Each structure stands twice: as C-alpha cells, then as structure tokens.
C-alpha cells in the first residue's frame, strides 16, 4: 500500500456533469408562441366583454406558473444554465474515462460520477452511487488508506493510495489505485473533491512477474560456478554472490549489513590494483588481474578478476562489477597455469614496487605494491600513468637518465635514490634493468622501487642523536676545564677579599671579579645541564603549586602585551625534580615565547596526567609507555621554521641577534629535562605558534625507602622559628690528603685549608695519593679528591684506599654531577660531594662537616 500527498491545488478546474441533461429545443418555443397568438386571436373575435373572464383566467394561470417556477428555482429544483458553458467533448471524456471518477461536495455527497466509478464501486444505478468511504466501510485492509485520503480531501491536498481488495468465495483479489485532489482554483471550488479509482491488478501482476524473473536471475547469479562482487567508489563492498561468500567463508546476511571493505577481501596490496584504474570520462574499462583473495580466517586463494568499471562524464568512477574465477584448481590440474599463478602471486606480494615502462616512462604493467605507492603519492592518478610523476621534479632527470640507459640495452645501471613527489617528504631507491631486445618496442625497462623514507628518517635521527651526544661530551669537557679555572679564580678572589677591607680602594674591583666569576659559573652550569652532568638536588614536588608560585614572576617576564593562562589538571601526580632547575626550564621557555610574540599574544601553561595507555597511544619516539605528568607551554607567536626545528636544542644555536642571547636557553632546558628522566618534544607551525610538551615521570613514594624517624622529626622542626646561630667555627685539626691534577687550584685549596689549621698533603693524581697514604700507613683523617684525573680517577682511588683503611672519609670534588660517577662506585659506598666551582668558605665548611660527622 503506497501513499502520495500533494498540498498544491489543481491547476485546471474540473467541470462536473449531471448524468441526465437535455438541451433546449427551438420547435417547442415556436409551438408555445403559436399557441399564445392563437389564443389572443380567438379572444379578440368573441368580443371584449365575453373575453374578459377568459383573459383573467389565462393571466391567473400564467401568474401561477411563474410563481411556481420562482419557488422551484429558489429551492434548486429548477436551474438555468448557459448553453455556451456546456462542452460535450469534455463531458464525454469524463463520462467514458477508463478510471472511475467522482466529485463530492464539502459534506461528502457525490455530485457527479462516471460509469467506470459506478462499475468499480458496484452501483447498479446512478442513484446507488456512494462515496469512497462508504463503499469500502468495514474492510480493514482499505480503511486506513481511505482515512488518509479523507483527511487529505478536507485539507485540500492531493493524496494517492494503492490497496489490495481481497476476493470473496475464493475469487482472486484485485489492486486499486485511489486518488483524491481538490477541484478548481477558487475558494468555492476547492471545497469540492475529485476522486479517481483505477484497477491496477494487471500492472501489479506484470511487476510481480518481472520481480520473479529478477529473483530467478539473482538466484542463478548467486549460485553460479563463478564469484561476483561489486564495490562502490568509497571502497565498500555492496554486493557479493553466494558462491564468492562461500569461498571466502562469509555469511551473505553479514555482508549485506555493510561494513565490509575491499581491503577486507583482497590480500596484500591487491586492492590498490583495482582502485588504480585511470580512464577518460565516459569510458567503460575492463581489466584482468591475477591476485589473491583473503578468506575470513586469514587464508588466501588465487583468483583471476575481470574488473569492469564505468566512468562518468566528470571522470568519477562508478560502482565496479567484477567476475571472480578461482584458480585454485589450476595449481593441481595444469602445470603451466600453476606456474603462472605462482609467478603472479610472487609478483604482487613482493615488498618492492615493480613496473615495466616504455621509453617515455609510461607504465605498461605494474604490481600491487607499485599501484599502492602511486596512489599514496597523488590523487589525480598521474603516477599510475607515468613513473616520472612519482619523482620530485627537481630530481626527475636522474631517473630519466637511468631509463634511457636501459632502453639502449646498457647493463649495471647504478641505483637512483631520489625524493618522491607528494605533500610529505618521502624517499625512494630505483633499480632499473633493461629488457630483452625484441621486447623494447613496448617495454623499455623494468623498474624496481623500494621506499627508503623510514630508513633515511632513522639515519637522520641516529646522526642527530650522535651529534647531540658529541656536542654534549664536548660541552661537558669544556665545562669541566672551565670549572677548574673558575675554582682557582674564585679561591684566589676569596684570599684577596680576606686581605682587603671594604674601605680599601681595590675592594670594589675584587668584588667585580667575584661577580663576573659567579656569572661565568652560571654559564658553565648551563653547559653541564645540556650535557646532563650538572648537580641536581631533586625533591618531591606538586607541579600545580610550583607553577602557581611562578605566576607573578612569569607575568613580569612576559610583559603586559602577552596574556598568561594557567590551566591545571585535576589531581596531578607528584614528580621528583630539582625545584630551581624546573623553574629555570619554565622561565626559559616563557622568555622564548615572549620573544616570539613581539606584538603580543597568549602564553598558555597546561598540566595534565598521562597514563600508561595514553602514553602508548602518543607514540612519541624514544619515550617508553609509563605514567607521566605533562606540562604544555604554548604560544601564539611566529613559530619555528621546519628547517631549524631539529637544531633548537643544540648549544650556542640561536636565531636572535648578536648580543641578545647565548644560545644556551633551550639546550639547558633539554639537559635538565633529560637528566630528570623526562622527555621534551616541540610542535610548531610557522605563523601560528609553538608548543613545547614536557613529560616528567610520575613519582611513586612507595618505591623509595622511608626516611628514618629522626630525619622526619628534624624536618618537622625546620619550619619553626629559631634564634640566629653564632658564626660557625671553621677551624680544625687533622691531616688532609688533597688530590687535584690542576697545580694552581691544588695549591690554593691547600693554602686555604692550612689557614684553618689543617695539615695538608698534596698529590697531583691517584698514584701519588696512594704513595702518600702508604707513607702515612693509612693514618689520614680525610681525603679531598677530584673525580676526573689522569692515570687513576676518583672512584678507583676510593676503592683502593678503602682496602687499606675501610673507615677512611673522603670528599669528591667535581664539576660534573654526582650521578655521573655514582654508578661506577660499589653499592652503598659512603662519601661526601662538593660541586665545582666553590668558594673557600664552602670548602672549609664541607671539610669541617665531614670530619666532625660520626
């Protein structure tokens, strides 16, 4: 049962015709006129007196007839019509129409019906005609459709319904098409409705016959000895016959529900062959492919496909129609065809892209891997036509030269590695070989293409990592030597300060030396931070609180033009970092962001927890899956050009003008994050802004040893107000073995220790230190030793000395971080540490603290 609704009124008015209408007659009019004239003549002959009663009677009779006609016209019994409005042609068309027609008034009464309507509704006479709703009353199959038609008639809309009338006493049922539409265009005429009823039983029977024939054809197609499938341009499988579904172990109902892709049933890169066909608009093209189809369980079967594809006038492909012939039997029945099948499977499943080309570079034949690679390089299909279109235009001449050599029959053509064409930077290596001489008319060369993008990317990463490590080692070595020089300067400067009073004219010059030495020490620490050899004092930290404390400082640094926005994640995990170093990381990145926004912008600092699963999905290179706390520092500045992104963490690399930066800011950030065990990545778009993403490992207190009770008690009292302590006594007694390979620094340290009352034995390296220890029979109270020394380093010296005196106390002095050599010491080894450069007061304080410790 179908329905159709149209709210528009008909454009042509419908003229209703009564079933019994007679036209007027001129003869009747003449007879009436003749009678009246004869009566008048007769009355005139009998005289006026005698005729008067008759005249009055005739006038009374005429008055009664006129009055009767007046009342009949008012009651509608008599109507006057214009003969010019009657159209016998239209009336006969309506009366003898094949479809049943009826007109109903606003009350639903039938004011007109033709013979076909009477026959279809079973009316014996015109007086028995009933409206549609009364004809089919009580028929449940039709009542709903009639209700919708009546509703449309009341609303002045068009409506169509098709209903089936069941036959009685075993008779065959019939189909009726019922329509309703308003009559005319005027408001008065629109109140009438025109009903039409047509018997469409034969049309339905013909449709059912066609449908049955179609079902038979589909059934034959489904169970044919060959497979069939169809794929739309999006790659969705829209039809698979039962034979192919059985071969692939799929359920037809499951395939019909959608969701199956061409790549699901075609093994390897074979799908690229089917979607790489290029043709002119309006062309219908059929290609033959020998590929493997993938079964549901993952197994494959060799088939030959006759792939038919039609292209529209705009060049867009339509749905494919593909015939599938199984070649599994060929492998057992025909050795030659079995060899062909094996070769085609090898040809399409090789990891290299293979194509044969003519002298002009046009692709003659290609395997599936080449088709897939060509599709990934461009959507216009040009790469499938010419192999030169796969290569970047700047390096295309190298491949052209290689193919020309092959076309001339030359052998041993050197491989060509060039940049591939496309939006992204991709590389490929081409191996070109010549074909036999009798085949060069159609095919000039065989080209093997192996994409090397991943290999080159990995090589660049390794080279970059090695370069950074080498630069780090160089920076660390330079920083170590600088620390020795700075230690000597700062030590000598302390002696000068002790020898001069503040009122001395040279005192300010000495203080200037001290300030510059301190500034130089800061630069050295930045180099050590990049080389990850600086000294860190990590502590458990809440990043949300730490960043909140930095808010005021950051606002002053970035200025009023830049808006600062801090977005803290909820329930941030704790991290273990050096507070001052972490602040330096944030400050350096904020200052760089400010410089990238000279006209103002927005700086956003965002924190969040990153779970193991989320970290695995990020797939950042070099970052293992673990729990992290992420800090994103984003700006809306000028961005970083792609060609220098890989260089920004290198020391002394800067894009700023000379004198406006040391080039150590980002290298310091990189070193601090790495030494803390974290990772840093940068995302930048020129003209839009830059985001630095820092991932710090989550600190788990349960994995660390709990501090002793007295340490906790001491920490609890730390915040309490204490009275100012008297100046500590840094003098002492005892024998100190001082080991330092820098003679000037060693003499200054020895001088400072002797000035505090200690007896100092000097040694320039570890061997001399062991000799001095043997001379004293191990009777040394303290050893102050450098870590990096020739012949014998500090950790080795410690192990040898502990063999002679297990209770020997030692202080290591180094410009490197304590962790740099801590791993080379035996487990649970006890020692003190003093980082370079240091002042004289720091040295004697550390010596006093170590010697008095129990």
Give the start-to-end residue ranges of the domains of the chain: 30-75, 107-206, 224-329, 350-457, 533-697, 735-852
pLDDT digit string (tens) for 641-666? 877 777 777 655 555 544 444 445 67
**What's the whole-number mean pLDDT along residues 779-798?**
83
848 neighbors 736 (Cβ within 8 angstroms): no
Closest CA to 498 of 165, 756, 723, 693: 756
User: Rounded distance, CA 67 to CA 60, Å?
Assistant: 10
Mean of pLDDT values over 122-126: 81
Cβ(425)–Cβ(454) below 8 Å: no
Given pLDDT bands bounded at 50, 70 and 90, which one contains residue 20?
very low
Q: What angle do CA 685, 691, 695 make, to 5 degrees?
A: 140
User: 760, 819, 759: which is closest to 795 by C-alpha?
Assistant: 819
CATH of domain 224-329: 3.30.450.20
Residue 606 banded pLDDT, cuts 50, 70, 90: very high
Cβ-in-10-Å burial (0-12, 13-18, 19+) of 194 comes to buried
Please determine whether the domains at 107-206 and 224-329 fall in the same fold group of CATH: yes
Mean pLDDT of the chain: 78
Residues with Cβ within 8 Å of residue 848, at least 6 apart in sequence: 728, 729, 730, 732
Reduce the DSSP state of residue 437 to 3 states and report it: helix
- Looking at residue 345, its pLDDT comes to 72
Instruction: Give burial (CB, 10 Å; 0-12/13-18/19+) of 591.
Output: middle
**pLDDT surpassing 70 at residue 19:** no
State yes or no: pLDDT of 738 exceeds 70. yes
**What's the CATH class of domain 533-697?**
alpha beta
Q: What is the mean pLDDT of residues 837-842?
A: 78
pTM higher than the cut 0.75: no
For the chain, percent of residues with pLDDT exceeding 70: 79
Domain range 735-852, its CATH number among 3.40.50.2000, 3.40.309.10, 3.40.50.300, 3.40.50.2300: 3.40.50.2300
Q: Which CATH class is domain 350-457?
A: alpha beta
Say what the pLDDT of residue 781 is: 87
Q: Give the residue, 695 or 579, on which the prediction is more confident.
A: 695
Topology classification of domain 107-206 = Beta-Lactamase (3.30.450)
Q: 259-268 pLDDT, tens per residue?
A: 788 888 888 7
How far is the C-alpha of 318 from the C-alpha of 327, rounded, in Å? 27
The segment with the largest mean pLDDT, out of 277-281, 428-432, 649-653, 777-781, is 428-432
CA neighbor of 408 nearest in space, from 447, 448, 435: 435
Mean pLDDT of 269-295: 79
Kind and range of the H or E run holding 511: helix 507-530
Cβ neighbors of 97 (< 8 A, separation 6 or more) are 114, 116
Instruction: For residue 391, give the 3-state DSSP assignment.
Output: strand
Per-residue confidence (pLDDT) for residue 610, from 0 to 100: 92
Q: How confident is the model at residue 832 (pLDDT cuts 50, 70, 90)?
A: confident
**Which pLDDT tens digit goes with each residue over 417-461?**
888 887 778 888 899 988 887 666 778 888 988 888 888 877 777
At residue 87, the pLDDT reads 57
More confident residue, 390 or 187: 390
Average pLDDT for 538-546? 83
Residue located via tokens 């912008």: 601
Q: How confident is the model over 149-194, as pLDDT tens digits?
A: 888 888 888 899 988 887 766 667 788 899 999 886 665 556 788 9
Q: Are strands 237-240 and 284-294 parallel, antiparallel or unpaired?
A: unpaired
């Amino acid at each position: 049962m179908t329905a159709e609704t149209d709210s528009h009124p008909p454009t042509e008015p419908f003229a209703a015709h009564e079933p019994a209408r007679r036209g007027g007659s001129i003869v009747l009019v003449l007879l009436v006129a003749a009678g009246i004239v004869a009566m008048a003549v007769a009355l005139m002959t009998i005289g006026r007196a005698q005729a008067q009663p008759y005249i009055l009677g005739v006038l009374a009779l005429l008055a009664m007839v006129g009055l009767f006609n007046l009342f009949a016209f008012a009651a509608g019994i008599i109507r006057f019509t214009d003969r010019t409005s009657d159209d016998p042609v239209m009336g006969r068309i309506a009366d003898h129409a094949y479809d049943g027609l009826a007109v109903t008034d606003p009350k639903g009464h039938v004011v007109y019906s033709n013979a076909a309507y009477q026959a279809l509704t079973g009316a014996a006479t015109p007086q028995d005609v009933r409206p549609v709703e009364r004809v089919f009353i009580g028929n449940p199959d039709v009542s709903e459709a009639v209700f919708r038609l009546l509703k449309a008639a009341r609303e002045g809309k068009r409506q169509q319904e098709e209903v089936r009338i069941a036959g009685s006493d075993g008779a065959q049922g019939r189909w009726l098409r019922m329509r309703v539409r308003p009559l005319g265009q005027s408001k008065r005429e629109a109140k009438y409705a025109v009903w039409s009823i047509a018997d469409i039983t034969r049309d339905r029977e013909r449709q059912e016959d066609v449908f049955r024939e179609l079902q038979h054809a589909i059934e034959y197609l489904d169970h044919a000895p060959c497979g069939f499938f169809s794929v739309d341009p999006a790659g969705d499988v829209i039809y698979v016959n039962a034979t192919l579904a059985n071969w692939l172990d799929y359920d037809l109902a499951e395939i019909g529900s959608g969701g199956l892709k061409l790549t699901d049933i075609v093994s390897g890169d074979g799908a690229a062959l089917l979607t790489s066909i290029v043709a002119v608009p309006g062309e219908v093209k059929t290609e033959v492919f020998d590929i493997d189809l993938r079964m549901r369980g993952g197994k494959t079967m060799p088939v030959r496909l006759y792939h038919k594809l039609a292209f529209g006038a705009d060049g867009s492909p339509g749905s494919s129609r593909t015939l599938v012939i199984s070649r599994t039997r060929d492998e057992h029945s025909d050795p030659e065809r079995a060899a062909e099948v094996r070769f085609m499977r090898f040809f399409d499943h090789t990891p290299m892209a293979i194509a044969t080309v003519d002298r002009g570079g046009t692709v003659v034949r290609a395997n599936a891997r080449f088709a897939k690679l060509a599709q990934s390089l461009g959507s216009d299909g040009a790469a499938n036509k010419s192999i030169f279109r796969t290569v970047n235009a700047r390096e295309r001449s190298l491949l052209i030269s290689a193919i020309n050599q092959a076309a001339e029959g030359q052998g041993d053509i050197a491989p060509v590695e060039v940049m591939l064409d496309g939006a992204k930077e991709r590389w490929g290596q081409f191996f070109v070989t010549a074909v036999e001489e009798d085949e060069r008319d159609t095919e000039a060369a065989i080209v093997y293409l192996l994409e090397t993008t991943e290999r080159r990317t990995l090589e660049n990463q390794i080279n970059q990592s090695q370069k950074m490590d080498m630069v780090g080692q160089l920076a660390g070595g330079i920083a170590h030597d600088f620390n020795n020089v700075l230690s000597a300067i700062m030590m000598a400067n302390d002696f000068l300060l002790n020898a001069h009073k503040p009122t001395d004219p040279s005192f300010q010059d000495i203080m200037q030396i001290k300030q510059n030495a301190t500034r130089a020490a800061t630069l050295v620490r930045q180099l050590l931070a990049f080389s990850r050899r600086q000294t860190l004092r990590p502590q458990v930290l809440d990043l949300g609180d730490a960043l909140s404390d930095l808010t005021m400082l950051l606002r002053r640094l970035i200025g009023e033009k830049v808006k600062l926005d801090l977005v803290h994640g909820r329930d941030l995990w704790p991290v273990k970092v050096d507070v001052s170093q972490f602040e330096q990381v944030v400050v350096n990145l904020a200052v760089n962001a400010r410089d990238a926004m000279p006209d103002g912008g927005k700086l956003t600092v965002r924190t969040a927890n990153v779970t193991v699963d989320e970290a695995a999905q990020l797939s950042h290179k070099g970052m293992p899956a673990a729990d992290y706390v992420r800090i994103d520092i984003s700006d809306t500045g000028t961005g970083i050009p792609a060609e220098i992104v890989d260089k920004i963490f290198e020391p002394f690399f800067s894009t700023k003008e000379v004198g406006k930066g040391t080039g150590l800011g980002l290298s310091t950030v990189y070193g601090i994050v790495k030494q803390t065990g974290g990772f840093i990545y940068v995302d930048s778009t020129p003209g839009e802004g830059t985001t630095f993403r820092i991932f710090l490992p989550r600190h788990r207190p349960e994995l660390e040893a709990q501090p002793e009770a007295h340490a906790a008690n001491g920490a609890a009292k730390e915040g309490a107000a204490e009275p100012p302590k008297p100046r500590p006594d840094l003098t002492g007694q005892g024998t100190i073995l001082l080991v330092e390979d820098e003679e000037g620094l060693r003499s200054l340290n020895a001088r400072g220790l002797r000035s505090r009352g200690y007896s100092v034995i000097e040694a320039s390296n570890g061997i001399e230190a062991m000799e001095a220890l043997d001379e004293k029979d191990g009777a040394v109270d303290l050893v102050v030793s450098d870590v990096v020394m020739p012949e014998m380093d500090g950790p080795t010296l410690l192990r040898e000395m502990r063999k002679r005196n297990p209770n020997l106390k030692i202080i290591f002095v180094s410009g490197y971080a304590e962790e740099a050599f801590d791993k080379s010491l035996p487990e649970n080894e006890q020692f003190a540490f003093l980082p370079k450069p240091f002042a004289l007061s720091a040295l004697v304080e550390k010596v006093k603290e170590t010697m008095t410790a129990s």
